[in-house]
Amino acid sequence: MGNMNFLDKASLDLLMPMNMILDPDGRILHAGPTLRKLRPEEDFIGQNVLDVFELRDDGRQHEDSVLPLNKKLYVSFKSGLPTQLKGVATPIVQKKYLLLNLSFGISVVDAVRDYSLTLGDFAPTELAIEMLYLVEAKSAVLEETKQLNRRLQGAKVVAEEQAFTDTLTGLKNRRALDHILDQMVQREVPFALMQLDLDYFKAVNDTLGHAAGDAVLQNVAKILAAETRDDDIVARVGGDEFILIMHKQIDPKILLKIARRIIVQLEVPVPFNGTVCQISGSVGITTTANYDIVDFEQMMQDADTALYASKHEGRARANFYDPEMVPTDTIEPAAVASR
């Protein structure tokens, strides 16, 4: 080191706080202050650099030298935390020594935490501080973005839940129906409740796929809209279940006529991708005239009972609710089989 007349150790340690001076065999003669801070218990002096570090040479040849020279290299500590360091080694003082200058590279964020490093541990020219600054700033912005995303996502879910429209068909949904029926019952408006279940729809879905199923549902929506008046309400309340509210219409004859007309329309085959989808429908009807006190839950149940009867008459039928009918939920499987 005596021949190194242009740089003393203090200047070297200031400019490169993670330097090592090695003899040609790799014996460590000197180690900079930040390197020493990483391994306070360990005395580097006298050890071989390859005993301290695991060298990853990335395919660079260095037969005639203990380290690859004048090229980027990576080393990591053999003992303790395997912090990875980036560096370059170059011969100095007429090739009598090797100067190995190291830095943290990608591991800087972890290293600052793991070794409690401070500003003074970095060379004044080193970009590590700017890097830490950027990482912190970016993390703060990223966190804000994530929170914003979560808020927006939450708002979207709420908006969808509050929506009154079935997005596939454009008809009212169950939520909207409950809301409107509540109001109609309160205002004592007479109406008919018609429950429609599609028949053979599952077969279309299963054999021709969801896209065909969707096309059928959209067509059903079109038929129902055409067969009802502006004051009536058409809602899709399940996969293939619809409810029609006929405003101020309680005449059984007319209602059955409407129901049959709908069924006829439903049975018109729907072309899809070179083939046709064939479905039908079953209907159950009840009206507010059947009740002293109108309870729409009860009306739904009764319409369902009437619908069930239609299904068991061989589908494609419409039935009016009759108190003689057996409610759906009390029918035993055995009783169904014997019908």
Partner 1 sequence: MHGMINRAIQCFLRDTYGPDVWADVAKKADFGFDNFEAMLSYPDRMTVKLLTTSARRLSKPLESLLEDIGTYLVSHPNVEAIRRLLRFGGDDYKEFMFSLNQIEGRCRLALPDLEVPKLELVENRDGTHTLTCQHKMAGFGYAMVGIMRAMADDYGALVLLEHQGRRGTGVEIINIHLLEESFATGRSFDLTAKAG
| Contact residues for partner 1, defined by CB under 8 A | 56, 58-59, 74, 84, 105-107, 109, 135, 138-139, 142, 145-146, 149-150, 153, 210-211
What is the C-alpha separation between 255 and 289, in angstroms, rounded?
A: 13
- Shortest Å distance, C-beta 23 to partner 1: 28
* C-alpha separations of 307 from 74, 289, 303, 335 in Å: 76, 18, 6, 17
β-bridge mates for residue 241, sequence order: 197
Helix axis angle, 210-226 to 201-208, nearest 10°: 140
CB nearer to partner 1: give 58 or 251: 58
Q: Could you tell me where the beta strands, DSSP code E, fall in the chain? A: 19-22, 28-31, 53-56, 73-77, 84-92, 97-103, 191-199, 233-236, 241-247, 270-272, 275-277, 280-287, 318-320
CB nearer to partner 1: give 14 or 163: 163
- Shortest Å distance, C-beta 97 to partner 1: 27
- Shortest Å distance, C-beta 156 to partner 1: 9
Copy the structure tokens of residue 113.
């935490």
- Shortest Å distance, C-beta 211 to partner 1: 7
Angle at 82 between CA 76 and CA 84, to 5 degrees: 40
Copy the structure tokens of residue 142.
């990223």
- Shortest Å distance, C-beta 135 to partner 1: 6
CB nearer to partner 1: give 131 or 185: 131
- Shortest Å distance, C-beta 145 to partner 1: 5
Q: Could you tell me where the beta strands, DSSP code E, fall in 139-263? A: 191-199, 233-236, 241-247
- Shortest Å distance, C-beta 194 to partner 1: 29
- Residues near 255 by Cβ (< 8 Å), separated by ≥ 6? 192, 194, 246, 249, 285, 287, 320
> What three-state secondary structure class fits 82?
coil
CB nearer to partner 1: give 138 or 257: 138
CB nearer to partner 1: give 42 or 214: 214
CB nearer to partner 1: give 57 or 182: 57
CB nearer to partner 1: give 107 or 278: 107
- Shortest Å distance, C-beta 61 to partner 1: 10
* C-alpha separations of 172 from 80, 180, 203 in Å: 66, 10, 25
What's 239's DSSP letter? S
- Shortest Å distance, C-beta 91 to partner 1: 23
Q: Could you tell me where the beta strands, DSSP code E, fall in 153-310? A: 191-199, 233-236, 241-247, 270-272, 275-277, 280-287
CB nearer to partner 1: give 96 or 210: 210
What's 269's DSSP letter? P
CB nearer to partner 1: give 60 or 257: 60
